[in-house]
C-alpha cells in the first residue's frame, strides 16, 4: 500500500470523547463545549431560505458575511477571512507559516489542536510554562528560539478557561520579534467581551491574527463557521492554501443572521455565565478546586488521576459525558461543559459522590 509521509505516520488522530454506540437521546453530553441553547430562530430561517439554491457553489469571498462582521465589530472587511470553523484557519496558518525549519510555540496547556496543526505542517511544537493554569507572557517570551515562527495563544484558554488581559497580550506582541506571527484564538471571546478588552486593533501591527468562531456563543457548531482578522499580507498568503468553497452557502446565510441577532447571542452568554457560576459554587461547596472560567465550561481538579478516571467512568455509566484532560497533561482534571441546569446538577451530584468515596 502507498505509505504516508513520515510526519503524518507519526501523528495520532485528533481525539474527541467517544460516544457509546447505540446511545439514544437520554445521553447528556457535557464534553464538547457546545452551546446550551440552539442558534437563534433567525439563523434557522435564514439557513432554510437558501436550501433551494444549493445547486450553486457558495460565495468564495464570503462577501455578505464579511460585511456583516465588519459592520458589527467596526472592522475593515478586507482584513476578514472565513473558514470551515476556526480549526480550518488554524490548520492553514500552520501550513503557510511553519514547517521543518520554522517551529510553533504555545502555552503549556494550550488548545490541543495547536499541536495537531503543528504536526500536520511537519514543524516542531514547543511549549512555555503556565502559571496557575494561566498563560504566562514572560515564560512565552523566554521560550522563543531562533526558529520560532508562530506563537499560538487561546484567550480565554481551552481547557483551562482562564484568560489574560488585553494589556498582557499587547506586552506579548511587543516582546516578540517582528518576524514571529502571533495568533490569538478567541473561540470563547464572546463570553469575555463584557470586560471591554477587544484585541482587534492588534492586527494593525502587521504580524498578529485574531480568530473567532460561531460554534460556541452563537450555538452554531454544526454549521462550521469560523473567522478571523488577518493583516493583508498574511491574508494573501493564506488564500493560496484555503479551500475556495470552504463555507457552505447555508452556513454563510446562517452566520449573517446570527451576527444580526446580537441580542439572542448575548442572552445565551448571560444564561451560560449564570449557570456556570451556580455550578462553580456547588462544586466548590463539594470540596473541588476550580480556577476562574471565562468560557462555557469549567475545569475540575479531581485531586489525582485515579479519582478523575473513576469519576469519568461513573458519569459515563449514568449517561453523562465529560472530557478527561490526560491528553493535555492534566490527568487529575475533568472539563465539564455548562449545560442545562438539571444536567449540571446531575453531573455535580455524581462527582461529589465520587469525591466522598475516594476520601474514605
Write out pLDDT tens, residues 64-94: 999 999 999 999 999 999 999 999 999 999 9
Q: Is the pLDDT of residue 288 over 70?
A: yes
Helix axes 262-285, 249-260, angle to 10 degrees: 80
In this structure, the answer to whether residues 94 and 232 fall within a common structural domain is yes
Query: What letters, b where the CB count within 10 A reaches 16 and e where it falls short, cover 4-34?
Result: eeeeeeeeeeeeeeeeeeeeeeeebbbbebb
| Cα–Cα distance measured from residue 340 to residue 271, given in angstroms and rounded to the nearest whole number | 10
pLDDT in tens, 200-215: 999 988 899 999 999 9
In this structure, the answer to whether residues 227 and 80 fall within a common structural domain is yes
Instruction: Retrieve residue 7's grid coordinates.
Output: 510526519
Residue 18 CB partners (closer than 8 Å, separation 6+): none
Q: Is the pLDDT of residue 25 over 70?
A: no
Model confidence at 354, in pLDDT bands (50, 70, 90)?
confident
| Cα–Cα distance measured from residue 216 to residue 205, given in angstroms and rounded to the nearest whole number | 28
Q: Is the pLDDT of residue 358 over 90?
A: no
Instruction: Retrieve residue 179's grid coordinates.
Output: 518576524
Asked if residues 295 and 158 have their Cβ atoms less than 8 Å apart, the reply is yes
Instruction: Note the pLDDT of residue 13.
Output: 72
pLDDT in tens, 326-337: 999 999 999 999
Least confident of 17-26, 65-74, 165-174, 252-261: 17-26
In this structure, the answer to whether residues 100 and 52 fall within a common structural domain is yes
Calculate what percentage of the chain has a pLDDT beyond 70.
96
The mean pLDDT of 154-173, rounded to a whole number, is 96
The mean pLDDT of 299-317, rounded to a whole number, is 94
In this structure, the answer to whether residues 30 and 54 fall within a common structural domain is no
Edge-to-edge strand ranges of the sheet holding 103-107: 80-83, 226-229, 208-213, 181-185, 148-154, 103-107, 125-128
User: How far is CA 24 from each of CA 3, 27, 35, 267, rounded to the nearest angstrom?
Assistant: 39, 6, 19, 29
Question: Cis peptide leading into 156, omega within 30 of 0?
Answer: yes
Least confident of 21-30, 183-192, 255-264: 21-30
Model confidence at 2, in pLDDT bands (50, 70, 90)?
confident
As a dihedral over the C-alpha atoms of residue 279, residue 282, residue 283, residue 287, rounded to 10 degrees, the angle is 170
Domain assignment present for residue 313? The answer is yes
| DSSP states along 154-205 | ESS-TTT-----HHHHHHHHHHS-TTSEEEEE-TTGGGTGGG----GGGGGG
Q: Is the pLDDT of residue 55 over 70?
A: yes
Q: Is the pLDDT of residue 14 over 70?
A: no
Model confidence at 12, in pLDDT bands (50, 70, 90)?
confident
In this structure, the answer to whether residues 69 and 170 fall within a common structural domain is yes
Other Cβ atoms within 10 Å of 56 Cβ, number: 8
In this structure, the answer to whether residues 295 and 185 fall within a common structural domain is no
CA-based nearest residue to 192, from 290, 292, 283: 292
Q: Is the pLDDT of residue 4 over 70?
A: yes
Domain assignment present for residue 7? The answer is no
Residue at which a domain ends, from 260, 292, 312: 260
Residue at which a domain ends, from 204, 232, 260: 260
Q: What is the mean pLDDT of the chain?
A: 94
| pTM, to two decimals | 0.94
The beta strands (E) that lie in the chain are given as 28-29, 80-83, 103-107, 125-128, 148-154, 181-185, 208-213, 226-229, 289-290, 297-301, 320-321, 323-324, 333-337
Instruction: Retrieve residue 134's grid coordinates.
Output: 494561566
In this structure, the answer to whether residues 245 and 271 fall within a common structural domain is no
Residue at which a domain ends, from 225, 260, 295: 260
The mean pLDDT of 197-202, rounded to a whole number, is 89
In this structure, the answer to whether residues 88 and 163 fall within a common structural domain is yes
**Stretch (H or E) spanning 49:** helix 41-49
pLDDT in tens, 92-140: 999 999 999 999 999 999 999 999 999 999 999 999 999 999 999 999 9
Instruction: Note the pLDDT of residue 91.
Output: 97
By the 10 Å C-beta count (0-12 exposed, 13-18 middle, 19+ buried), 175 is classed as middle
Asked if residues 213 and 82 have their Cβ atoms less than 8 Å apart, the reply is no
Q: Which of 178-182, 287-291, 302-306 has the highest mean pLDDT?
A: 178-182
Instruction: Note the pLDDT of residue 19.
Output: 65
| Cα–Cα distance measured from residue 161 to residue 217, given in angstroms and rounded to the nearest whole number | 14
Instruction: Note the pLDDT of residue 20.
Output: 64
Helix extents (H) in 74-127: 86-97, 112-120
| Cα–Cα distance measured from residue 188 to residue 292, given in angstroms and rounded to the nearest whole number | 14
CATH of the domain at 343: 3.90.1150.10
In this structure, the answer to whether residues 59 and 108 fall within a common structural domain is yes
Domain assignment present for residue 217? The answer is yes
In this structure, the answer to whether residues 82 and 135 fall within a common structural domain is yes
| Cα–Cα distance measured from residue 255 to residue 221, given in angstroms and rounded to the nearest whole number | 11
Host domain of residue 307: 17-38+263-359
The mean pLDDT of 226-249, rounded to a whole number, is 96
Amino acid at each position: 500500500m502507498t505509505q504516508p509521509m513520515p510526519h503524518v505516520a507519526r501523528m495520532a488522530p485528533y481525539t474527541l470523547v467517544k460516544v457509546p454506540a447505540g446511545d439514544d437521546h437520554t445521553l447528556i453530553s457535557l464534553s464538547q463545549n457546545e452551546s446550551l441553547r440552539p442558534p437563534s430562530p433567525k439563523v434557522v430561517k435564514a439557513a432554510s431560505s437558501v436550501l433551494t439554491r444549493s445547486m450553486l457553489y457558495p460565495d468564495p469571498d464570503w462577501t455578505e458575511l464579511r460585511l456583516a462582521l465588519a459592520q458589527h465589530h467596526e472592522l475593515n472587511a478586507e482584513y476578514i477571512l472565513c473558514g470551515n470553523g476556526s480549526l480550518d484557519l488554524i490548520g492553514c496558518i500552520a501550513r503557510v507559516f511553519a514547517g521543518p525549519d520554522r517551529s510553533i510555540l504555545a502555552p503549556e496547556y494550550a488548545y490541543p489542536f495547536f499541536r495537531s496543526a503543528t504536526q500536520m505542517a511537519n514543524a516542531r511544537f514547543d511549549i512555555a510554562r503556565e502559571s496557575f493554569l494561566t498563560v504566562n507572557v514572560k515564560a512565552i517570551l523566554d521560550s522563543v528560539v531562533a526558529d520560532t515562527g508562530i506563537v499560538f495563544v487561546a484567550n480565554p484558554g481551552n481547557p483551562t478557561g482562564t484568560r489574560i488581559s488585553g494589556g498582557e497580550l499587547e506586552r506579548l506582541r511587543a516582546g516578540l520579534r517582528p518576524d514571529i506571527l502571533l495568533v490569538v484564538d478567541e473561540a470563547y471571546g464572546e463570553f469575555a467581551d463584557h470586560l471591554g478588552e477587544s484585541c482587534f486593533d492588534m492586527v494593525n501591527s502587521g504580524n498578529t491574527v485574531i480568530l473567532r468562531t460561531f460554534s460556541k456563543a452563537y450555538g452554531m457548531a454544526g454549521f462550521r463557521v469560523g473567522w478571523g482578522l488577518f493583516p493583508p499580507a498574511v491574508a494573501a498568503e493564506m488564500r493560496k492554501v484555503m479551500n475556495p468553497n470552504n463555507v457552505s452557502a447555508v452556513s454563510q446565510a446562517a452566520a449573517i443572521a446570527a451576527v444580526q441577532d446580537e441580542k439572542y447571542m448575548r442572552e445565551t452568554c448571560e444564561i451560560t455565565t449564570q449557570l456556570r457560576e451556580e455550578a462553580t459554587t456547588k462544586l466548590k461547596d463539594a470540596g473541588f478546586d476550580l480556577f476562574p472560567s471565562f468560557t462555557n465550561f469549567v475545569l475540575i481538579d479531581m485531586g489525582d488521576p485515579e479519582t478523575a478516571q473513576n469519576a469519568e467512568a461513573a458519569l459515563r455509566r449514568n449517561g453523562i459525558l465529560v472530557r478527561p484532560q490526560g491528553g493535555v497533561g492534566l490527568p487529575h482534571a475533568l472539563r465539564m461543559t455548562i449545560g442545562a441546569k438539571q444536567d449540571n446538577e446531575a453531573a455535580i451530584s455524581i462527582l461529589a459522590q465520587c469525591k466522598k468515596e475516594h476520601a474514605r
